[in-house]
Amino acid sequence: MNHFFVKPQNIDEGVRVLIEGDDVSHITLSLRLKEGDQITVADGEGNKYLVELTFLDEKEVRGDIIKEFDRRIEPEVKVALIQGLPKSKKMDIIAQKCTELGIKDIIPFDSERTIVRLNKKKVLKRQKRWQKICKEAAKQSGRARIPKIHKIADIDQILERAKDYDLVLVPWEDEEVKGLKETLVENKEVKKIMIVVGPEGGLSSKEVEAFKEIGGRSVTLGPRILRTETAGLATLSMVLYELGELG
């Protein structure tokens, strides 16, 4: 079933829905939906509805809410991925797949070993593209919330943000003692988790120590070294599975 996002104010007392903007042409021209057809609509704040279309023209689409979905769609545990800025279009894949899995926030990280250097114009352009990718992936996967792509941050800004999280996980290839599963088993009650992944060259030992100093946990993901575009996805999947949000 086709899925769309609207602003919370476009849902009238849980009875009617108004769809505006680019989605109107998508519904009327691309999908060729008509009165009586059903779609699902989310407000971006965790609420999702089954809607029957009642009016369509070139400017707006309206529909009546048939029911609100009771099944929990969004993970209870809120996960943020701090992703060392990778080369090429790897961030596109990371944004798309993390959205499908259930990420809440993605914060690009300008780390010590980041190779990519972007001017202000390119930063804004990339951020808009990544946010659009998140929106499309959220629609495709039927989510009730669109993950937020934050501005590129440096180490000091990330360390400050980390204070708001119950658990900070730092997958690191040089960690040989503590595994991710063991760490999660010891922290079953956490509600906000930050995952910190380095760029292609990985995190420096100085950066890892900085996270440890504020209570972060360096963890091994196993005997094989994962690429930067794989490490975050693998960690997110294991976190959500171990805490009962996947599988």
Question: For the domain that residue 87 is a member of, what is the CATH number?
Answer: 3.40.1280.10
33 and 109 part of one domain:
no
Number of structural domains, the chain? 2
Q: What is the extent of the structural domain holding 215?
A: 78-242
Query: Which of 22, 50, 68 represents a domain boundary (last residue)?
Result: 68
Question: For the domain that residue 38 is a member of, what is the CATH number?
Answer: 2.40.240.20
148 and 219 part of one domain:
yes
113 and 63 part of one domain:
no
Residue 151 included in any domain: yes
41 and 152 part of one domain:
no
Give the pLDDT band (50/70/90) at residue 119: confident
Nearest to 98 by CA among 143, 53, 67: 143
Query: Which of 68, 89, 119 represents a domain boundary (last residue)?
Result: 68
92 and 152 part of one domain:
yes
Predicted confidence (pLDDT) at residue 70 exceeds the cutoff of 80: no
What pLDDT is recorded for position 13?
82
Give the pLDDT band (50/70/90) at residue 164: very high
115 and 167 part of one domain:
yes
What pLDDT is recorded for position 105?
98
Predicted confidence (pLDDT) at residue 73 exceeds the cutoff of 90: no
Predicted confidence (pLDDT) at residue 4 exceeds the cutoff of 90: yes
203 and 162 part of one domain:
yes
What pLDDT is recorded for position 72?
80
164 and 96 part of one domain:
yes
53 and 157 part of one domain:
no
Predicted confidence (pLDDT) at residue 123 exceeds the cutoff of 90: no
Nearest to 166 by CA among 63, 39, 79, 51: 79
What pLDDT is recorded for position 86?
93
Q: What angle do CA 11, 13, 15 make, to 5 degrees?
A: 75
What pLDDT is recorded for position 104?
97
Nearest to 105 by CA among 134, 141, 132: 134
Predicted confidence (pLDDT) at residue 55 exceeds the cutoff of 90: yes
Residue 73 included in any domain: no
128 and 56 part of one domain:
no
In order of 24, 34, 69, 86, 116, the CA distances from 100 in angstroms are 24, 28, 19, 20, 26
83 and 160 part of one domain:
yes
197-222 mean pLDDT = 95
150 and 228 part of one domain:
yes
Query: Which of 68, 93, 121 represents a domain boundary (last residue)?
Result: 68
DSSP state for residue 179 in the 8-state scheme = B
